[in-house]
Structure 1
Amino acid sequence: MTKGSVKFENVTKSYGEFVALKPLSIDIAPGTLCTLLGPSGCGKTTTLRLIAGLESATAGRILIGGQDVTHLSATYRPVSMVFQSYALFPHMTVLENVAYGLSVKRVPKAEAKDRAETGLELVGLSGFGSRLPSELSGGQQQRVAVARAIVLEPEVLLLDEPLSNLDAKLRRHVREEIRQIQQRLELTAVYVTHDQEEAMAVSDRIIVMKNAEIAQEGTPHDLYERPASAFIADFIGDANLLDTEVIATGDETRIRLLGQELTLPLTAKHTGAAKLVLRPHQVRIGSETLPGSLPAEVTYAAYLGNQIQYTLKSEAGEIFAVAPPVAQPFRQGDNVHFSWADNAPRIVMT
C-alpha cells in the first residue's frame, strides 16, 4: 500500500467574510498518524475536508505524496475517508459494503471480492461477510467502515471523529484496533477528534488547533510535558494553573507565589506574569509544613480503587490532585500542605 505525505502551504479557507482557516502550513510524514485536535469550531474538520477535496482552498497549496491536488476533485484524490456515521448501506451485506468502492471504480467482481475479504481479515472480521450491518455491534460496524476505506489502497486514510458514536469502554478497544491496523499497514493517517485522551492514545503527532490556526504541534509527550501556553496545558490532560510571577530567569527560574519566592530548575522566556502548570499526579499532599509547601483545606476526597482524588482549597486557587491509595487518606475538612517535586511544574507565560 502506497504511503503518501500531506503538505499544506499557507492554505486558507473563507466563506465570504468568515475565516474558517487562517494561513496553515503543515507537513505530515508518510506512514505516520497525525491527529488534528481541538474544541468545536477550531478548524480541524475544515482541514480534513480540504485534504479530502470536499472543500476547496481559498488560497495556498495542498500536496499529497508530492502531487499538487489543490484543484483536484475528491474523486481523483488518493485518499479514503472513514466518516463519523459509518455510512454503511443497510440493505447490503458486510462484504458488499466493503467492496462497494471497488465496484464504483469498476474493479472486476472477482478481484473486488478477494480484496474485500482481505480487508475484512485485516480488521479482524473474517467470516462476517454475509451478515448485514444491523447484525453487528457498533465497534464491528466501525471496523467495516475502516475495511471499506483501506481496500481502496489510499495513500492517505482520513478519519473524522470515528469513535464518537461508541461508548467509553468500546472507544478504548476500537482506537487500539485502528492504531494497530495503521501501524501494521504503515498507512499515513489523519485523524480528527476533540477528545485529548483519544488523541494521546493513537497519535505519532498531534496538531492542536484553536481559533482556526495551530496553537501547538508535537508528539503527545511534548505537548503534555512542554505546553507552550495555558490553553495547551489545560487542554492536554488535567492541569492546575496557578497565577505566579517570574522574577528572574537563567539556568533556573525564580518565581513569586503567594508571597513566597521559589526557585525552579526551569527556563522561562522572560520575566512577568505567568502560570505555574501543575499536573494532578505531581501534587504532593502532607500534614506537615515543609519548605516551599503551601497551606490548603481538603474540600473533596474520593476513593477510586487505584487512586484517591482530592480537591484542595488554597489561596492559590482550587487544586485537583490524585494520589495512590493509602490506609488512612485525608478527609474532607482536613488542613494540609501541598507541594511538588522540584522538576515537576512547568511555567507558561501569560
Structure 2
Amino acid sequence: MKGSVRSQNVTKKFGEVVALKPLSLDIAPGTLVTLLGPSGCGKTTTLRLIAGLESASEGRILIGGEDVTHLSATYRRVSMVFQSYALFPHMTVAENVGYGLSVKGMPRAEVKARAEAGLETVGLKGFGTRLPSELSGGQQQRVAVARAIVLEPEVLLLDEPLSNLDAKLRRHVREEIRQIQQRLGLTAVYVTHDQEEAMAVSDRIIVMKNAEVAQEGTPHDLYDRPANAFIADFIGDANLIDLEVTQSGAETEIVLQGRRLRLPLQSAAIGPAKLVLRPHHVRLSHDPAPQRFAAEVTYAAWLGNSVQYTLSSDGGPIFAIAPPQPLPFRQGDNVQLGFAPEDVRLVPA
C-alpha cells in the first residue's frame, strides 16, 4: 500500500557491535510514528535504514509494498529532514527548496513553481529570495521541510528536527510540522529523545531501549498502561514505589509500606512489583486516614501554573504536582500522602 513502511526482522551490525536487534515494524499510510528513546538506543539507525543511508545486515524493508532492502537512497521515494537543516548558505531559500528537483533534471520553470508552492505550504510565501542566514531557526527548519515535501515522497523522515531550537519555538514548529503532515496525508517517521515532543505529534510511538523495541502504542497507551518501569519513568514523570503483590485476580491485593490494600487492577504475578504513581495523582492532606501514608515536605515551589513538591517517605522520595494555589504545605511540614486506587498502575519489579 502506498506510503506504508514495513521492516521484517531487520538487524544492523557494525563489525561486532549490534546497533539494531531484529526489528519488525508496520507503519500505516498517512500516520506519524515516532521512534523515541535515549541516545544509543537504535532509533536513528532505524531511520537511516528506512532512508537507505545504511544497509541492513539482515531482514527486509518494504516501502509502499515494494522491497527496497537493497535499493540506495536515491531510488527510494523518501525525503529526510535533518537535525542541522543542511541548507546551502550561498543559495536563496527558493533555490534550496528546489534543489532536489533541479538535480532530477526538472525544467527550471516547474522547479520554481513547485518551490514557491512548497514555501506556501509551510507558511513562508514571499521568502524565496532571501538567504538562509536571513531567517530564524524556526524558519530555516520549515525551509528544510519544504525542500523535503516538494519531492512528493511516499515517506517523510525527520531526524531530531527540533533539537536546535529553543523550548518555546520547538512547541510552535512541532505544531506546524504535525499540521503539514496531516494536511498532506504524509506518512512520517519522526525521531526524537524528547518524550513530550513525541506525545505532542504522534499517532503512535515506538519506544526503543538497548537497540530494540521496549513498547509501542498510542501516546495514551504508553502513558496510562506502561509495560514496565522503564516506560513508566520515560513517558512522563512517575513515582515508582516498591510493593508486594499478595493476591491477583479481578482485583489485586498488595502490601505497601506494611499496609494491605486492594486495587481494581489485574496483576499477572504474585511477588515484588512497583506502583506507578503520577505526580498529579498524588493527594496531600494534613489528616491521617487508613489509606494514607506519612511523608515530609522537603521542597515546595509555586510555579504559577502549578505547585510542585518533593516529599520524603518510607517508600522513597515522591514528586507531586498540585493545582496553582497559595502554598498549603511548606518545607518541613509533616503531611499525609494518598492516591485514588484507579489512578495507579502496577509494573514488574
Aligned to 1:304: 303
Residue 329 of structure 1 and its aligned partner are, at CA, apart by: 1.7
Of 111-120 and 323-332, more deviation after overlay is shown by 323-332
Aligned to 1:290: 289
* Preserved contact between residue 3 and residue 188 of structure 1 (Cα < 8 Å): no
Which string of whole-angstrom CA distances, capped at 9 and with x for unpartnered residues, describes residues 292-321 of structure 1? 100000000000111100000000000000
Aligned to 2:84: 85
Which string of whole-angstrom CA distances, capped at 9 and with x for unpartnered residues, describes residues 242-296 of structure 1? 0011111011111111110111100011111100000000000000011210000
Counterpart CA distance in 2 for 1:80 and 1:214 is 24
Aligned to 1:8: 7
TM-score, reference length from structure 1:
0.99
Q: What amino acid sits opposite 1:241 in the alignment?
A: L
Residue 342 of structure 1 and its aligned partner are, at CA, apart by: 1.8
Q: What amino acid sits opposite 1:152 in the alignment?
A: L
Aligned to 1:74: 73
Aligned to 2:268: 269
Q: What amino acid sits opposite 1:234 in the alignment?
A: D
Q: Which runs of 5+ in 2 are unaligned?
A: none
Aligned to 1:197: 196
Aligned to 1:153: 152
Q: Does 1:118 align with 2:111?
A: no
Residue 342 of structure 2 aligns to a residue whose secondary structure is coil
Residue 326 of structure 1 and its aligned partner are, at CA, apart by: 2.6
Counterpart CA distance in 2 for 1:12 and 1:310 is 44
Aligned to 1:47: 46
Counterpart CA distance in 1 for 2:22 and 2:284 is 46
* Preserved contact between residue 43 and residue 211 of structure 1 (Cα < 8 Å): yes
Residue 15 of structure 1 and its aligned partner are, at CA, apart by: 1.0
Residue 322 of structure 1 aligns to a residue whose secondary structure is strand
Residue 16 of structure 1 and its aligned partner are, at CA, apart by: 1.4
Of 259-268 and 326-335, more deviation after overlay is shown by 326-335
Runs of 4+ in structure 1 over 2 Å off: 325-328
Aligned to 1:105: 104
Q: Does 1:206 align with 2:177?
A: no
* Preserved contact between residue 94 and residue 115 of structure 2 (Cα < 8 Å): yes
Aligned to 1:228: 227
Counterpart CA distance in 1 for 2:326 and 2:26 is 51
Residue 244 of structure 1 aligns to a residue whose secondary structure is strand
Aligned to 1:63: 62
* Preserved contact between residue 281 and residue 339 of structure 2 (Cα < 8 Å): yes
Q: Does 1:344 align with 2:343?
A: yes
Count of residue pairs the alignment pairs up: 349
Aligned to 2:126: 127
Residue 29 of structure 2 aligns to a residue whose secondary structure is coil
Residue 343 of structure 1 aligns to a residue whose secondary structure is helix
Which string of whole-angstrom CA distances, capped at 9 and with x for unpartnered residues, describes residues 62-95 of structure 1? 0000000000001000100000000000010000
Aligned to 2:236: 237
Q: What amino acid sits opposite 2:309 in the alignment?
A: Y
Residue 3 of structure 1 and its aligned partner are, at CA, apart by: 4.8
Counterpart CA distance in 2 for 1:334 and 1:293 is 16
Counterpart CA distance in 1 for 2:54 and 2:272 is 41
Aligned to 1:317: 316
Counterpart CA distance in 2 for 1:274 and 1:341 is 18
Q: Which runs of 5+ in 1 are unaligned?
A: none
Q: Does 1:168 align with 2:167?
A: yes
Cα distance change on mapping 1:324 and 1:234 into 2, 3 Å: same
* Preserved contact between residue 310 and residue 317 of structure 2 (Cα < 8 Å): yes
Residue 17 of structure 1 and its aligned partner are, at CA, apart by: 1.1
* Preserved contact between residue 301 and residue 308 of structure 1 (Cα < 8 Å): yes
Cα distance change on mapping 1:261 and 1:173 into 2, 3 Å: same
Counterpart CA distance in 2 for 1:261 and 1:349 is 19
Q: Does 1:38 align with 2:37?
A: yes
Counterpart CA distance in 2 for 1:244 and 1:79 is 48
RMSD after superposition: 0.8
TM-score, reference length from structure 2:
0.99
Counterpart CA distance in 2 for 1:3 and 1:167 is 35
Counterpart CA distance in 2 for 1:328 and 1:39 is 35
What percentage of aligned pairs have identical amino acids?
A: 77
